[in-house]
Amino acid sequence: MIFQKKKNLDEAKNVLELIEYVKKLEQKIVLLENRIKEGETKALQNFSKFSISRFNSFSDMGGDQSFTLTLLNEKNNGFILTSLFRNDTSRVFTKPIINGISEYQLLEEEEKILKEATNDQKTKGK
C-alpha cells in the first residue's frame, strides 16, 4: 500500500509538470502570434509592386535613354521616379503615389507603368 501512494504522488507530480509545460507553450504561442502580426503589418509597408519602362523622351533622340520606375507597397502607396535624357542633360523627377493616385500630372509613360504596377504586373517594360 505504501508503494501505491508513492506512485500516485509521482503521477500527480507528472501531471502538474505537464500542466506547467502546456502553460509555457501557450505563452510562447501568444508571443509568436504577436510577432507574426507585427511582421505582416511591416510587410504591407514594403515595396512589393514595381514596374519600369525605358523610352525616348524627345523625338530627335534614340536609344531609349529616358526611364520611368514605379515602386508601390500592397496599399498602392509609393512613388514614381522618372529620368528624362536629352543630349548631355538628364533631369530626374519623383512623384508620390497614394492609394494608386498621384496629385501631380503624369506623363503618358508614367501613367502606363503606374497602371501596370497597381495591376500587380511585376517588372513590365519594353
Q: Tell me the per-residue pLDDT of 70-88, one tens digit each, with 9 for 90 and over.
A: 999 999 999 999 999 887 7
Report residue 110 as a C-alpha cell: 508614367
pTM of this prediction?
Answer: 0.65
Q: Mind listing the pLDDT tens digit for each residue in 8-20?
A: 667 777 888 889 9
**3 state DSSP class of 56:** coil
Sheet holding 66-72, edge to edge: 49-55, 66-72, 78-86, 89-97
Residue 35 corresponds to which cell in the numbers above? Answer: 510577432
Q: DSSP strand E in the chain: where?
A: 49-55, 66-72, 78-86, 89-97
What does the domain layout of the chain look like in residue ranges? 1-45, 49-118
